[in-house]
Amino acid sequence: MKPNIVFVINYFYPDYASTGQLLTELCLHLQYDFNITVIAAKPGYAGEKSSDSERFEYDQLEKIKIVRIQLPKVDKQNKLSRLQYIATYFFYANLLVLKQKNVDLIYTISQPPILGGLIGTVGKVLKKAKHIYNIQDFNPEQAEAVGYMKNKLIFRTARWIDTLNCKYADHIITVGQDMQETLLKRFANRKITENTVINNWTNEEDIIPLSKEHPRVSEFIERNGWKDKFIVMYSGNLGLYYDLENLIKITTDFKDDKDIAFVFIGEGAVKAQMQRYVKQHQISQVHFLPYQPKEDLKYSLNAADVHLVVNQKGIKGVSVPSKVYGVMAAGKAIMGVLEKGSEAHRLIEESQCGVVAEPQNYNEITNQLRNIYNLDRSELMECGMRGREYLEQHLRRELSLDKYRKLLLSI
């Protein structure tokens, strides 16, 4: 008999969120070893609208059963709106977990903040199942780092609850070595729950290095008016944890460089603010695009000469920007805005696939970007390809998926 595992993961296929794509691939990899039920929100990460007003929608992806929850529309810059969204998800996700029969494992991730883990804790107690807690981001530390949570009492209470989730979990998975260190600090020398570091990944067989002359890459560039431009790209969530609302200001340092194009692909809480800044300062080199279809991602990533991989100050040990794997797979050079000692910083340094500056050191970021811009193009390509070679050796998708499979079967 195959074990029954319930994934409570908020985002799932066909959502654009990186965690949704990762967990979809994980479930597909595990579907022959487990009976899998996924509990997730109806798609809406990139602003998709659902025409179905039913609270629950039942779906199937190959052998995977999916229950989707209709949630209220969320304004990510409005705390009350976020709270309503999260509370609704928490209530109905718990309800659906309790309705499942013969559950052996409950797999939750750290989204929504704190409550993702709490769903697993509640499910473990009431369903007598084992709880696997996958921490993609440490909260409330992440919210505090960007100034989103300033009330010390709420912060301490939230961290206490999430540490309790960690304590009662049967196994914890973190996605970076620096995050494992944060977990150890949480337990402060007390007996710690068994835990494993498993890196996130990208599909390196799908996302491969392509030249700008490749027909699909060339078509993407020409369609957007960037022919013969040096393209600096950010592809991903334009959210609260990346300091993008301030990083956008460095584009004014390149206003006289007409052959540079700054391209921001994605959606998120600070996108409108970034667009307002660009409009107010009449910066013609900055361009915004929505998320690209997953099947076109390899072409859009390969259109860039250099990719921005960034995190806000204070995020070290709290979160790992998953976009680093896609950029390395595409063999593109990286301009990292990352704290020394963070997982993405370590990967860039070890692979020598780019340069790094400290978050909020905007002069240094501008200088490093200028250095990359002045590099010989063959040097820049070699730099990016070192990232691809490192990824093939240490970060292949199959390595991470097999680690998950062996771990979950052992539990």
Say yes or no: 74 and 96 in one domain: yes
Report, in angstroms and rounded to the nearest whole number, the Rg of the chain calculated over CA atoms.
Answer: 21
Residues 309 and 347 in one domain: yes
Q: Is residue 282 part of a domain?
A: yes
Query: Are 135 and 242 found together in one domain?
Result: no
Are residues 332 and 400 part of one domain? no
Residue 161 shares a structural domain with residue 259: no
Q: Do residues 47 and 78 lie in contact, with contact meaning Cβ atoms separated by under 8 Å? A: no
Closest CA to 141 of 153, 157, 159: 159
Kindly state whether residue 185 falls inside one of the protein's structural domains. yes
Do 44 and 117 have their domain in common? yes
Residue 209 lies in a domain: no
Sheet of strand 306-310, all strands in order from the earlier edge strand to the far edge: 286-289, 260-265, 230-235, 306-310, 333-337, 354-357
> What confidence score (pLDDT) does residue 47 get?
47
Residues in the chain, overall count: 411
Tell me which residue range forms the domain holding 21: 4-201+396-410
> What token pair was written down for 280?
């107010």
Selection from 311, 319, 263 nearest residue 291 by Cα: 263
Same domain, 151 and 192: yes
CB atoms within 10 A of CB 31: 15
Q: Is residue 140 part of a domain?
A: yes
Work out how many domains the chain is built from and give that number.
2
Between CA 117 and CA 165 the distance in angstroms is 6
If asked whether residues 35 and 153 sit together in one domain, one would say yes
- pLDDT at position 51 is 52
pTM over 0.95: no
Grouped pLDDT means (10 residues each) for the chain, 411 residues: 95 88 96 98 64 84 97 80 90 96 97 93 96 95 79 90 96 96 89 96 96 97 96 94 95 94 95 96 96 92 98 92 96 97 96 96 96 94 98 96 97 94
Would the CA dihedral through 47, 52, 57, 58 be positive or negative? negative
- Identify whether residues 193 and 244 lie together within a single domain: no
- Residue 206 maps to a domain: no
Contact of 313 with 340, CB cutoff 8 Å: no
Cα separation, 69 vs 54, whole angstroms: 9
